[in-house]
Chain A
């Protein structure tokens, strides 16, 4: 990637305080939701943040949208640090960064006509006068009938509501759209329709996407680059093709091997790494590498310090970074008894 990235996130940290329980028990502790996350997104690029529940991916999305304030770190959008912005400056950035959430049922006001909901970002930007011309255009853009504007959310299926949410996000011509599990609530045939639409719109308008998902196969399908999150950290990142073809981090490998393959023959023969136990709690994460308690390769040294993301090598793996000194050979190899 050349030139300044559209979005640069550097050392992002978000801790949520947990207060003692209502009976006076428990002490005030902290959920380490996001703990030092850095990534960039270029213009027109799709970066997927993938991981399991509780890994912090949605918190990152909310931090980028400034729906939450970061504990530490910076978010730079088109050269401007947005972490401290307010008022008009923040409003300007918000025009350029829009969002589509997972649940198309709760992201529309049930008592408003959907045309009014789609026009809401325009109104927020003081461009209410544009709405009558823009809304029919937007609805047709996402494959809906212009007449749909006069109807209410309950008259639409989940897939159609997700199209409406996309129309709303595009109303103010953003540069970056944060897509937080945009197809997770949809049936597979409808999911494919929405993914196809997102791909078309991206090409047409040069949109960049921050695509948040737990579904690795969906990510494989949409992303240029992928970042795998585990308990508030990025453990592996790189070009999607490289990471999926040659996953390095033991967590990425376990995650990929857990996805069942719809081809029954391959499903019977594929390598499977079944992790033991439950994921550790983000309130009290393990020291050092947070995956070590479930990792078959863990050494004593893994508990000592948090492994940094380091380059894997040159050639096709340029930009492929992994946070595991054990696999990368910087630490002594695991003993044969493992």
Chain B
């Protein structure tokens, strides 16, 4: 693996001991007798209070990465290499019951669709209270209910004590997503994962929910992994950004560096393809489409769409290496920073 090595035992007392560390994570999908690599040696680390955005197009492996961390990979996918370490515990070696304890406890995930994440037949307050009682032994039902109302208030639900008695269908999408956030932060997780959590919301509601998410993270001090395809959301919430393409990290670094001085042709292409509010300039498309994981090109997977590609890109896998002057900026490209 080409990733920078992580210390074997993250020291809990260290100043920037990562909350989550992925080291060379690989995930394979087996389907109809064929195998495809979905994640290929992905390494990244999140420190407490830090927000990292994972961006890329459909099929880049963003959601698979999040699901792998949660131990929720769908049937047919399995981890074939690497490590996932949450607060010093290797999750890949953890028992099923330890994983269950961690999910909703030390780590919590907010999904895109709150409609299907909430139980339709239970009141939302009861669902938040259940999350509390599942992970905190000795909390009485009454205490859990009171805490649930307080959490609903904290995520900005008006008249929280009354709305706690609502069923999910009585709430709007934005309100339901707030309930999901309340549930996610109920046990003060160290890691929050938001997978396209605002994608299905209207833009004015998205603005509200992003504020709630940022506040919730600040209050809990959790590290946050935000999976999104929206570069505006990235600029709004993230400290660092990780750009994925075809199961690998193409570029990563501080959000200001990557979004204003991108060095990977794919990152540049993505930014040029985004329509902007303040200019009528036509968007520039990236030609072609992402490769199928079953037919990954040799060498650099982006070379089939890349304006800078040459023979070397076909022959040789680019590795993720430090780039430029900004600390933490890394690029996997033979022509990193080349002519735009």
Partners in one complex: yes
Give A contacts to B, CB under 8 Å: 52-53, 157, 159, 187-193, 195-196, 199, 214-218, 220-221, 240-241, 244, 254-265, 267, 272, 274-275, 277-279
Provide 30 A-B residue pairs closer than 8 Å at the C-beta atoms, listed in order of the A residue: A52-B202, A157-B289, A187-B229, A188-B229, A189-B273, A189-B285, A189-B286, A189-B289, A193-B287, A195-B285, A214-B203, A216-B277, A217-B275, A220-B275, A220-B276, A220-B279, A256-B277, A257-B207, A258-B204, A260-B210, A260-B232, A260-B236, A261-B235, A262-B259, A264-B256, A264-B259, A267-B236, A274-B207, A274-B208, A274-B211
User: CB within 8 A of B285: which of A193, A215, A263?
Assistant: A193
CB distance from B304 to the nearest CB of A (A): 13
Q: B280 to A275, Cβ gap below 8 A?
A: no
Contacts of B280 in A (CB 8 A): 220-221, 240-241
Question: B186 to chain A: closest CB distance in Å?
Answer: 23
Is B235 within 8 A of A214, CB to CB?
Answer: no
Whether the pair A190, B289 counts as a contact (CB closer than 8 A) is yes
Residues of B within 8 A of A264 (CB): 235, 255-256, 259-260
Question: Do A262 and B234 form a contact, CB below 8 Å, given A188-B229, A188-B274, A190-B289?
Answer: yes
Q: How far is the CB of B24 from chain A (nearest CB, A)?
A: 27
Quick one: given A189-B286, A267-B232, are A52 and B204 in contact (CB under 8 Å)?
A: yes
How many residue pairs bridge A and B at CB < 8 Å?
Answer: 132
Judge whether B232 and A259 touch: CB under 8 Å: yes
The smallest beta-carbon distance between B219 and chain A, in angstroms, is: 18
Using a CB–CB cutoff of 8 Å, the interface residues on chain B facing chain A are: 57-58, 158, 172, 174-175, 202-208, 210-211, 229-236, 255-256, 259-260, 269-280, 282-287, 289
User: With A and B bound together, what is the CA distance between A234 and B197 in angstroms?
Assistant: 30
B57, B233, B282: the one contacting A187 at CB < 8 Å is: B57
Query: Which A residues lie within 8 Å of B234 (CB)?
Result: 262
A160 to chain B, nearest CB (A): 8
Q: Which of A53, A193, A195, A256 contacts B275 (CB 8 A)?
A: A195
Closest 8 pairs (CB-CB, A-B): A260-B232, A192-B285, A192-B273, A262-B231, A189-B286, A52-B202, A258-B207, A193-B285
> Once the chains bind, are B207 and A272 in contact (CB under 8 Å)?
yes
User: When the two chains form their complex, are residues B283 and A262 in contact, meaning their CB atoms are under 8 A apart?
Assistant: no
